[in-house]
Amino acid sequence: MEIMENEVEILVVDDEPAVALAIKSALKFCGYAVLTVPGGDKALECIQAEPNRFALVLTDHNMPGLGGLALVKALRTVGYPGRIVILSAFLSQSVETQYQALGVDQIVSKPFHLERLRLTLERALNPARAVA
């Protein structure tokens, strides 16, 4: 599928195929173009190959190989210019603090409601228009 110039593309990173498919379907319903990858290693490859392709990376935390925290650190190291949102079932306060220190844009808990996810992504993509 060819991505239109004005269409926002999101990279979804989740090692659970059913979860990745559900998120992809939800985001496509909201009008986003979506590519899913099964882990942080593949996500980093995508970003390194095309650093400006994705406006936002939506990643799980707990994944084999390069997990969410390591992925965010790597994205910061390579200078990824887009937004980063963490979507995870449970994060300790310590891990949330580490993500915040890395400047992630939002953290969302699983399970999520589509409307909440949509609003979170809007806030991340358009911080100047975000409502407190």
- Burial level of 46, CB count in 10 A (0-12/13-18/19+)? middle
CA–CA distance, 58 with 13 (Å, rounded to integer)? 6
CA–CA distance, 102 with 53 (Å, rounded to integer)? 21
- The tokens describing 72, both together, are 């965010």
- CATH no. for 9-112: 3.40.50.2300
Give residue-wise pLDDT tens across range 94-115: 999 999 999 999 998 887 788 8
Res. 89 pLDDT band, cuts 50 70 90: confident
CA–CA distance, 111 with 63 (Å, rounded to integer)? 17
Identify the H or E element spanning 27: helix 17-29
Which residues have a Cβ under 8 Å from the Cβ of 89 and sit 6 or more positions away?
62, 109, 110, 111
Residue the block writes with tokens 């990279």: 11
For the chain, what percent of residues have pLDDT higher than 90? 69
Kindly tell me if the per-residue pLDDT of 36 is higher than 80.
yes
Res. 2 pLDDT band, cuts 50 70 90: very low
Q: Would you say 95 and 72 are in contact if contact means Cβ atoms under 8 Å apart? A: no
CA–CA distance, 62 with 82 (Å, rounded to integer)? 21
